[in-house]
Amino acid sequence: MRNTTVKIRNSFLFPSSRFLRFNGIILAFITLLLSGAAFAEDNCYLTAIANNVSTPLLQSVASDIRLVKGVNQFELVCTLSQSGVFTFTRPALKSFSWQQDGALKAPLKTNQMAILMEQGSFHAQLTVTVTNSYTPRFTWLNTQQFIERVQLYNLIFGVFYGLCATLIFYVLIIGYGIKDAIFKQYGAYLFCIASFIFLQEGQPYLFAQNQFSELIRNLYSLSIGLTVVSATWFMCAILALPQYWPKVSHLLKIAALCVLTLCLQRVALDLPAIANLTSAITGYLSLLIVMSIFILSAVQAKQGVNEAGLVFIALSCVFISMTFRILLTEYSPFIQRYGFVIAFTLESLLLAIAVAKRLQRLSYAKKQAERHANYDPLCHIHNRRGWSLKANDLLTQHAQQGGILCFLYIDLDRFKVINDSYGHDVGDKVLSKVAQLINNHMRSEDAVGRLGGDEFVAMALFTSKDKINQRVATLEQKLNALSLEHQGNTIAIYASVGQINYSEAPKNLDEVLKAGDEAMYQKKSLRKAQAKQTYTRENA
């Protein structure tokens, strides 16, 4: 009996392991219920005073409540287990007040309207005055979620604005010396789209007080029109619409100016009676312009127009973001919130690539034009213009560094006889062969060119006369040993080389050409006299 009593007492003092496990399960279940009850306490209801319609606001989920033009009054009833933030967008917001416990509560200084909500239960009266009907997307989040979203928001938009600024400076610097309006148009478009996003997202409110709301709204309306105009002008230019579709390009630009006019009307006149009508016309007309340019970019890309494919892909990104923003509003909160900015970022990058490709083509075309302007197409050496440019560089180098400047004026002997006897095709071959020999004999840094007809020139800078005399003597020997085979006949080629050396820098290139021409004619006269003496001696 005594042992039994001891066991019973011990069982109360030291419960069995089975009993402990059972108690643990009960405690866990109670804790789960309590936590569920605590979670259930987090709720908010927004009631419209005008019609007494109450709408539950779920955490982190934007509502579809639509505000009507004018004054909208609501009562907000919330029970929160931790502090939170009530937010909504303010594109058409004119004024806002939050009254709680008989006092007005100031909003947080953020781009969106944001009010801090304390932990616990409270009632608040909201008065929202708007200039146009719109959906503000009322949302509430706990404080930690709000901070994380603000950090993500600042990161994404910081990258976007940084990219826009970089591209604008890139266009201004690279396109500064190029006479192509498209670079200025692209820079203007980037500035307008960045300003539009900046105003649309309400970011001026980070720096300005609420009393500037009307000014910010007017700037936002103006940015819409300027963005449409700058985008239309730039897209028409890069797609070459004025060349391929002049009438369509003209109509698109007129439509864009109509959008700008409507935006200016909203800013200057502020007619409440037609505000909704002008907003609708502006929206549909802008959409029509974008759709038309999108279709034309596809057509131009199919026809192989430069950069049209990149423009088509860029506009596709914008259309995809607009689809999520307008139609698939509940598909992805992240895309819904940031898709538009990401799309414009991708569009800006793709358009920057398109502009860079255009710059590359223009640079190549410029180099080709300079080559055609400075080179002789027959002899593949400098023409008179190209040779003068390089010769003037040598004159400048000689004046700065010293040395001996050697100028050669080369004229073919009896070239007219070759043309008359064998034809101009053979004469061209002779000119080409002579030019190739002179060019191969001279150095790459020397200036070799054809002045015209059968006259060639060469200029070189040397350190000593010995090198000059040796090179000139070899060149003259090779020229007079040159020949051309034509239909079994050997055509001998002869040339007179006039040489002028300068230890002191000459005044200008005209002086050099004149002196070289005189030296060449003296050499030609000497060669004729020698040839005449040889002929007389052989026939004596």
Give, for all 540 residues of the chain, the pLDDT tens digit. Answer: 444 443 433 443 334 444 334 444 444 443 434 444 334 468 899 999 988 889 999 888 888 888 988 899 999 999 998 899 999 987 778 888 999 988 899 888 887 889 999 988 999 999 999 887 888 889 999 899 888 888 888 888 888 888 888 888 877 777 666 667 788 888 888 899 888 888 887 777 777 666 677 787 788 889 989 999 999 998 898 888 998 889 999 999 999 999 999 888 887 876 666 666 777 788 888 888 888 998 998 998 888 888 888 888 888 887 777 666 655 655 666 666 667 777 777 887 888 788 777 777 777 777 777 778 888 888 889 999 999 999 999 999 998 888 899 999 999 988 888 888 888 899 999 999 999 999 999 998 999 999 988 999 999 998 878 778 888 888 989 988 888 888 888 888 889 999 999 988 888 899 999 999 999 999 888 877 776 776 566 666
pLDDT of residue 30: 39
Give the number of other Cβ atoms within 10 Å of residue 260's Cβ: 19
pLDDT of residue 536: 66
**Is the Cβ–Cβ distance between 269 and 281 less than 8 Å?**
no
Instruction: For residue 412, list its beta bridge partners.
Output: 495
Cα distance between residue 513 and residue 457, in whole Å: 9
Q: What is the DSSP track for 144-170? A: HHHHHHHHHHHHHHHHHHHHHHHHHHH
Amino acid, res. 463? T
Strand duo 113-117 + 404-413: pairing: unpaired
pLDDT of residue 137: 86
pLDDT of residue 38: 38
Cα distance between residue 251 and residue 234, in whole Å: 15
pLDDT of residue 272: 62
Q: Which residues contact 485 (CB under 8 A, 6 or more apart)?
A: 491
pLDDT of residue 84: 92
Query: Helix (H, G, I), strand (E, B), or coil: what is residue 446?
Result: coil
Q: Which residues contact 186 (CB under 8 A, 6 or more apart)?
A: 171, 234, 238, 351, 352, 355
**Is the Cβ–Cβ distance between 497 and 472 less than 8 Å?**
yes
pLDDT of residue 37: 39
Amino acid, res. 103? A
pLDDT of residue 365: 74
Cα distance between residue 192 and residue 502, in whole Å: 60
Q: Which residues contact 115 (CB under 8 A, 6 or more apart)?
A: 85, 86, 87, 98, 105, 107, 108
Give the number of other Cβ atoms within 10 Å of residue 540's Cβ: 5
pLDDT of residue 333: 60
pLDDT of residue 538: 62
Burial class, 174, CB count within 10 angstroms (exposed 0-12 / middle 13-18 / buried 19+) = middle
pLDDT of residue 334: 62
Per-residue pLDDT tens for 337-351? 667 777 777 887 888
pLDDT of residue 430: 92
Cα distance between residue 220 and residue 201, in whole Å: 10
pLDDT of residue 28: 42
Cα distance between residue 190 and residue 199, in whole Å: 14
pLDDT of residue 407: 94
**Is the Cβ–Cβ distance between 428 and 467 less than 8 Å?**
no
**Which strand (E) or helix (H) includes residue 87?**
strand 84-88
- Edge-first strand listing for the sheet containing 93-100: 53-57, 43-48, 70-80, 120-130, 93-100, 103-104
| 100-107 own/partner pairs: CB under 8 Å, 24+ apart | 100/124, 100/125
Q: Within its chain, how far is the Cα of 216 from the centroid?
A: 27
Q: Distances from the Cα of 252 to the Cαs of 56, 99, 255, in angstroms?
A: 45, 49, 5
End-to-end CA distance of the chain: 170
pLDDT of residue 331: 65
Burial class, 9, CB count within 10 angstroms (exposed 0-12 / middle 13-18 / buried 19+) = exposed
Tell me phi and psi for residue 180, to 5 degrees. Answer: -140, 115
What single-letter DSSP state applies at residue 493? Answer: -
Amino acid, res. 31? T
C-alpha torsion angle, residues 330, 147, 134, 344 (rounded to 10): -70
Cα distance between residue 356 and residue 93, in whole Å: 41
Q: How many residues does the chain have?
A: 540
